[in-house]
Structure 1
Amino acid sequence: MSLSIELNQGHVAPLGASVLADGVNFAVYAPLAKQLYVCLFDSSGHTEVLKLAMNNNEGGIWSLYIAPLAAGTLYGYRADGDYQPKKGLFFNSQKLLIDPYAKDLFGEFTWSERHYGQMPIGTLSTVNNAIDIPKSKVVQLLPYQGRKPQHSWGKTVIYECHVKGATARHPTIPAQLQGTYLGLSHPSFIEHLRSLGITTLELLPVHSFISEQFLTAKGLQNYWGYNTLNFFTPHKEYLVTDEIAEFQQMVTKLHEAGIEVILDVVYNHTAEAGSDGPILSWRGLNNLGYYRTVTDNPAVYINDTGCGNTLNIDDPFSLKMVLDSLRYWVEIMGVDGFRFDLATILGRTAHGFSQAHSFLQAINQDPILSQIKLIAEPWDIGPGGYQLGAFPAPWREWNDKYRDVVRRFWQGQNNMLAELAKRLHGSFDLFEHNHRGPLNSINFITSHDGFTLTDLVSYEQKHNEANGEQNRDGHSANYSFNCGFEGFTDDAKITTLRLQQQKNLLLTLLLSKGVPMLSSGSEMGHSQGGNNNAYCQNNRTGWLAWKDSQRSHSLTRFIDDVLSIRKQYCVFKHSVFLHDTDKRFAVNWYTEQSNAMQESDWHDGSKQFLMYSLQDTQLNTALLIILNASDVAVKCQLPALDGDLRWRLALSSVAQAELKNKEQFEVAAQSSWVFTGNLEDQGHG
């Protein structure tokens, strides 16, 4: 580190560390602090070589320009001021703070008592935590230069996966790339996605995160990543060379293959946990701004996330940080969109959720963010937290009602037909009221959270003992069915039925109106041994078990077959709900005898059979879908077609299915069937 340096006031924008000419500008928001310091470290990150006072500016932003200084510099902040937790103030200059706008981090995070402001409780800690916390690192990345695929929602098929778990055991990806960003962009994985018909990769959290202390005490890790340490830095465990540009390389390769990248982002809470948690970054700079606290009692955090704290998006600088982070990942890292974890929190004021929240308005008017893919997980555990269908255009939403209704139907429950029909055709009851369409529904059967597809048909009870919480964690209402035996079995009859039920679920999902999302492993029979909350299983439980002949797996081939049908029918790209007045498309519902469904049929609770056709009068094509969830076969009469068209069996969940009589046949128990009238060519739509 040079001893001859130039210091000046610096600039208040942009926040964070910016390389300018031969120096670096530092800017950080801490309106209630008495003094801010930039602390510079040697290249090892172990020795603090300079502690430089920053300058206070209008609006509570502290700044300092240091020259000569370059990219690669390691630094952190220290904030001096009042330490009064009862008033929501946590200033402690002994705590080195990560820059909320850091674009890279150096070194490992280690849990220790040094991160806490009071140790023991009630005694102000004077212990320096620098040895146990990553250092912020000055970087200078060029904006993303690649060409983005920009798939329309009508053509989008999402594949949700974990960066590490997707390729950690992949047999044809080099060992050094397994479980990394570059592993996802390896030709073997890209070819797998393309063979499935995937257009969009949705990654579980890749913002830098740490494991909670209660997990490390058990010898476990936070595997999923919903415990953010920094909103701008890629999680470094997934790098090969420690260079964050690898993330850009991954995005470029995926884009070149026509595959979009969506990030699952966690802007609802941070790794600093409750008010008795560690001081790592935001708490030590502006606790009252970054976190929601109880009115008139700032010592108490509002915990609408269940994770100890809730980010306060009502605060202008908290809102700015989230928006700046989103733009950074789009403009610099090249991503195509985001799935927002517990998104209700981002639209909640002190008076509840509002479509007019400043965050939603800011997104809508932003020239960059309004043009990308935006997906909400529309619930949290706070008051009025369930907001499915309440987000404004252009938002899409995870549709858990779709998930549960389809599961319950194939589980064999009665009284499901009427609601199932709504879900199959885009859930108009949820989205049409605020001028949205079927493509606003993200349909899914399984996701990272809950049973895998294979476990859904193999377990009726969760088996989460490995998580160390006596099987108390995870959902209990799974609507799962084990096909006659709990867990693994080599009974041929049971395994055949399980495979058939997985195909039933996949066929239903991929031929429903809306945007389909597959969870990784659905195409290869991935099991977590009945663990429906594998958030801490950074091991073979959570990692996909690849085989050399993966492309020949019956589920992989089946998904490809169903998606091939989906892509040929324009009705699935149609962005508005189908009504009787539609001039092009028509949906018709039939009984087993091919009569039109009547009101009494819809309300016959014992019926577990549904048959319907989708017709395109413009192209003179038709699709017939038959779903039989009952445990007995059903004799079925196929409906008549106009003109010279005849039904042709295109696909079935039944192994070696065939149609001997084209007018009438027996629909096997717990099976699904697809018939085509005349396939459209790929150029239509």
Structure 2
Amino acid sequence: MTYHATVSTQLEPGSPSRLGAHFDGGGTNFAVFSEHAEQVFLCLFSPDGTREEMRLSLPERTGAVWHGYLPGVQPGTLYGYRASGPYTPEAGHRFNRNKLLIDPYTREFHGSFTDHTATFGYLNSAPEADLSFDSRDSAPFVAKSVVSDPALFPLDAQPLERGWHDTLIYEAHVKGLTQRHPDVPEDLRGTYEGLATPAMLDHLTKLGVTAVELLPVQAIRSEGALTARGLVNYWGYNTIGFLAPEPRYFGPAGVRGFRAMVDRFHAAGIEVILDVVYNHSAEGDHLGPTLSFRGLDNASYYRLQADQPRYYVNDTGCGNTLDTTHPFVIRLILDSLRFWVQAMGVDGFRFDLAATLCREPAGFDRTGRFMTALRQDPVLAGVKLIAEPWDIGPGGYQLGGFPAKFAEWNDRYRDTVRKFWRGDTHGAQELGSALLGTAYLFDKRGRRVWSSVNYAASHDGFTLADTTQYEHRHNMANGEGNRDGHKVNFSDNLGTEGPSDDPARRDMRARRQRNMLATVFLSQGTPMLLAGDEGGHSQRGNNNAYCQDNATTWIDWASLDPDQIAFTTALSQFRRDTPILRQMDFLHGATRPTDHRKDVEWRGFDGTPLNWSNDSLSSLCLHLRGNAESVAGKATRDEVLLAFNRGNHDLDLLLPPTIHDVWVREIDTAEAAQHPTPVDGARIRVPAQSVSAFVLRVGSTG
């Protein structure tokens, strides 16, 4: 007992006010929620986590919070909980005091989780499966919670609060972005610190990135089925600790490295957005392990089937669904969000399967308990909130259905861009709506045009390059018989499946990628770029690389196309320099009071109105002016003309007439290098399979 020689063996009552373990200079207060437990034990471990040296019953219960204060417990102490109560899966209760449980509020972990049958609350070899009871101690196979030093997590961070209309999101994986970067020091590759090294910051700032959106970095546990195949959950959508940074990305600075990374991003003017998974936990379905929530209070943390509470509601497709109507689940999520903002400096969150968070007994409700609590929280008032607006449950597709504070991933936009450039019928009609922020879904309840997060590729699916190289998924390496991942990708291999040595085909693919990139950057809304797409990163046709922690997903910086990077950089600069592409209000063709001209007009290449009834329409022009509402009372002569030629032949474009001003072609996707060129005359040739963007320069001569 030398490790705990100065620790009292008598728990004092302590306080229920703050959940988790909190050191006050003389000892530590422990508080944990469980509504249905009959007894909760605090277990203290040796410094190496191998021996349970003390087990004490929490002496007090205030409402549903069990608590106690133990003098002498210092930061760095390893601990966990055990809970006693009924083991009646048929009634929704799965208490088993033999199973060590991590603290849902722990901010650090010691050790890791081991796949062992002792972590299950039942005998997995028994015929009755989870209706049986396992009495083995799971502690040797479970990570330990850590009493944190308050100095590690000062609540002094301030988000950048950059405006949505200026935002360019860059979606990235901590390890995948840096693991193969030659200019990131080897000991920092794959780490939080590595993300904010000078080489990475230089690349991101040149691209014009204003927000890095990181795939999950809250503590992760890989599923047993993956580890049995020698794989891991690489993406990280299997959270087990909502307040703890994932240790696999620690560098030399350990947990301090995360805040240091955020601070360096902020110094460069870049926000940090976290992809967070509050819809389910890593404990899986009724046959999963007992690691935390299940053993503390299964019937409170999870949504159980009303007629068969042995089983979980599975609106997430991950085996379980957290009950975000329960007050203590809501509290856990909000406490977690505030921790990442105040202590870690995070600027926003992308909520995975956000429709799940809005589920009330009657179904999806944007004004339900969780959303109401979230939107009134003063700490979270200034951060960015992004919804993945679907889950797999009934009525789960809710694109456009979230409150005004939220932006949403727009997968219809993604599919529309791919279908248009692939040549699908009705592609132009769908693109018309996408270019203006998908107003039919988002222009309601006071929402702004930035609500639509526009992208052509994300982590989930083909990379941008792979949409031009593969028509079919190639996921055999995942070990699921190529049955996983999206079946329909709206991709086009342009004649040959996979890589090609044919220069003409490679040029066509590069142009197709430029066309899709240009479409994203020229659309109203918030553009999002998948890391590596700026240079043509390929995952060899794997469209569900969630378990590929290897060269499949790690960006090979040496092989990226420098011409495409330069093109993407020019696109981003053009968007930044052209406020008319970043308007706050939706454009509907309203008449501007300043000059009695429409704020947006559609036209053909010959200047005549578009024939929208033509389902094979392959060329269209979008003439943009300042929003009629935004320019009320002030004059503006800014104008942009976007010309999309999806056809296989060059077309002559009749430009809108001017008197003294000059149209300048700023973007031409027919070439990677961009050279702004004033137009001499009323007509200009727009190459086949290309996008051109023209700006009206006042009195310009070039």
Structure 2 length normalisation: TM-score? 0.94
Q: Is the 8 A contact 1:636 1:665 kept in 2?
A: yes
SS of 2:220's partner is coil
Aligned pair 1:281/2:297, yes or no?
Answer: no
Partner of 2:691: 672
Pick closer, same or farther for the CA change 1:286–1:425 going to 2, 3 Å. Answer: same
Shift of 1:336: 0.3
Structure-2 separation of matches of 1:85 and 1:355 = 32
Q: How does 1:199-214 map to 2 (within 5 A)?
A: 199-214=210-225
Partner of 1:640: 657
Identify which of 617, 630, 636 aligns with 1:619.
636
Partner of 1:64: 68
Partner of 2:250: 239
Q: Which runs of 5+ in 1 are unaligned?
A: none
Partner of 1:608: 618
SS of 1:229's partner is strand
Shift of 1:680: 12
Q: How does 1:178-577 map to 2 (within 5 A)?
A: 178-241=189-252, 243-547=254-558, 553-577=562-586
Shift of 1:582: 4.2
Q: Is the 8 A contact 1:568 1:679 kept in 2?
A: no
Pick closer, same or farther for the CA change 1:281–1:147 going to 2, 3 Å. Answer: closer
Partner of 2:107: 103
Q: Is the 8 A contact 1:619 1:680 kept in 2?
A: no
What is the RMSD computed on CA atoms of the aligned residues?
Answer: 1.8
Shift of 1:427: 1.0
Structure-2 separation of matches of 1:304 and 1:346 = 10
SS of 2:477's partner is helix
SS of 1:602's partner is coil
SS of 2:73's partner is coil
Q: Is the 8 A contact 1:41 1:48 kept in 2?
A: yes
User: C-alpha deviations, 1:425-457, integer Å up to 9, x for none?
Assistant: 111100113221211111111000000010011
Shift of 1:661: 5.8
Pick closer, same or farther for the CA change 1:335–1:44 going to 2, 3 Å. Answer: same
Aligned pair 1:138/2:147, yes or no?
Answer: yes
SS of 1:279's partner is coil
Q: How does 1:33-182 map to 2 (within 5 A)?
A: 33-119=37-123, 120-121=125-126, 122=128, 123-139=132-148, 140=150, 141-182=152-193
Deviates more, 1:406-415 or 1:579-588: 579-588
Partner of 2:606: 593
Structure-2 separation of matches of 1:573 and 1:450 = 27
Structure-1 separation of matches of 2:398 and 2:350 = 15
Q: Is the 8 A contact 1:647 1:662 kept in 2?
A: no
Partner of 2:666: 650
Q: Is the 8 A contact 2:46 2:52 kept in 1?
A: yes
Pick closer, same or farther for the CA change 1:514–1:482 going to 2, 3 Å. Answer: same
User: C-alpha deviations, 1:342-393, integer Å up to 9, x for none?
Assistant: 0000001121001211111111111111221000000000000000111111
Q: Is the 8 A contact 1:426 1:437 kept in 2?
A: no
Shift of 1:262: 0.2
Q: Is the 8 A contact 2:158 2:341 kept in 1?
A: no
> Residue 635 of structure 1 aligns to which amino acid in structure 2?
D
Shift of 1:416: 2.2
Structure-2 separation of matches of 1:370 and 1:145 = 16
Structure-1 separation of matches of 2:674 and 2:223 = 50
Structure-2 separation of matches of 1:514 and 1:370 = 21
Pick closer, same or farther for the CA change 1:330–1:147 going to 2, 3 Å. Answer: closer
Shift of 1:662: 3.8
Structure-2 separation of matches of 1:511 and 1:535 = 30
Structure-1 separation of matches of 2:31 and 2:236 = 28
SS of 1:509's partner is helix
> Residue 129 of structure 1 aligns to which amino acid in structure 2?
S
Shift of 1:675: 1.4
Structure-2 separation of matches of 1:241 and 1:125 = 40
User: C-alpha deviations, 1:391-416, integer Å up to 9, x for none?
Assistant: 11111111111111111000111222
Structure-2 separation of matches of 1:572 and 1:652 = 16
Structure-2 separation of matches of 1:78 and 1:657 = 64
Percent identity, aligned pairs only, is 43
SS of 1:561's partner is helix
SS of 1:301's partner is coil
Deviates more, 1:201-210 or 1:588-597: 588-597
Deviates more, 1:293-302 or 1:155-164: 293-302
> Residue 574 of structure 1 aligns to which amino acid in structure 2?
Q
Structure-2 separation of matches of 1:378 and 1:114 = 37
Deviates more, 1:31-40 or 1:234-243: 234-243
Shift of 1:267: 0.3
Deviates more, 1:586-595 or 1:466-475: 586-595
Shift of 1:607: 1.3
Q: Is the 8 A contact 1:438 1:514 kept in 2?
A: yes
Structure-1 separation of matches of 2:644 and 2:467 = 18
> Residue 117 of structure 1 aligns to which amino acid in structure 2?
G
Deviates more, 1:454-463 or 1:665-674: 665-674
Deviates more, 1:561-570 or 1:167-176: 561-570
Deviates more, 1:404-413 or 1:606-615: 606-615
Shift of 1:34: 1.3
User: C-alpha deviations, 1:523-565, integer Å up to 9, x for none?
Assistant: 11100000000001000001000129x6x81121111111211
Q: Is the 8 A contact 2:31 2:68 kept in 1?
A: yes
Pick closer, same or farther for the CA change 1:242–1:80 going to 2, 3 Å. Answer: farther
Q: Is the 8 A contact 2:60 2:68 kept in 1?
A: no
Structure-2 separation of matches of 1:583 and 1:428 = 22
SS of 2:443's partner is helix
User: C-alpha deviations, 1:51-109, integer Å up to 9, x for none?
Assistant: 01102322121111111111111000011111111111111111000001111000011
Structure-2 separation of matches of 1:582 and 1:211 = 56
> Residue 625 of structure 2 aligns to which amino acid in structure 1?
Q
User: C-alpha deviations, 1:478-515, integer Å up to 9, x for none?
Assistant: 01011111110111000001111100000000010000
Partner of 1:13: 17
Q: Is the 8 A contact 2:35 2:300 kept in 1?
A: no
Shift of 1:657: 8.1
Q: Which runs of 5+ in 2 are unaligned?
A: none
Deviates more, 1:516-525 or 1:626-635: 626-635
Q: Is the 8 A contact 1:236 1:242 kept in 2?
A: no
User: C-alpha deviations, 1:199-245, integer Å up to 9, x for none?
Assistant: 00000000111111111111111100000111010000000137212
Structure-2 separation of matches of 1:466 and 1:2 = 48
SS of 1:636's partner is strand
Q: Is the 8 A contact 1:621 1:680 kept in 2?
A: no
Partner of 2:648: 631
Shift of 1:419: 2.2
